[in-house]
């Protein structure tokens, strides 16, 4: 299964110059099929360090 990833909202961070951690966090949601159910994984990532923060 593939998601139709069209953007509804403008990228407000496209011109932002990130120079340290905690300046910009980005998020993503992924649906995972387990047995007959769908679960979701929601991640918040620090854009500078690329570490998962939530």
Provide the pLDDT for residue 47: 92
16 found inside a domain = no
Residue with tokens 């994984």: 41
**Total domains, the chain:** 1
Q: pLDDT by residue for the chain (54 residues), tens digit each?
A: 556 666 677 888 889 999 999 999 999 888 899 999 999 999 999 999 999 998
Domain assignment present for 29: yes
54 within some domain: yes
pLDDT the model gives residue 52: 94
Q: Which residues contact 40 (CB under 8 A, 6 or more apart)?
A: 29, 30, 31, 32
Residue 1's pLDDT is what?
53
Element (H, E) at 40: strand 37-46
Q: Considering the domain boundaries, does residue 51 fall inside one? A: yes
Residue 9 belongs to some domain of the structure: no
Q: In this structure, is residue 47 part of a structural domain?
A: yes
pLDDT of 32 reads: 92
Question: Could you list the residue range(s) of the whole structural domain that residue 49 is in?
Answer: 22-54
């Amino acid at each position: 299964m593939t998601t139709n990833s069209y953007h509804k909202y403008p990228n407000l961070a496209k011109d932002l110059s990130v120079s340290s951690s905690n300046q910009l966090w980005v998020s993503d949601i992924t649906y995972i099929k387990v047995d007959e159910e769908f679960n979701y994984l929601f991640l918040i990532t620090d854009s500078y360090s690329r570490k998962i923060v939530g």
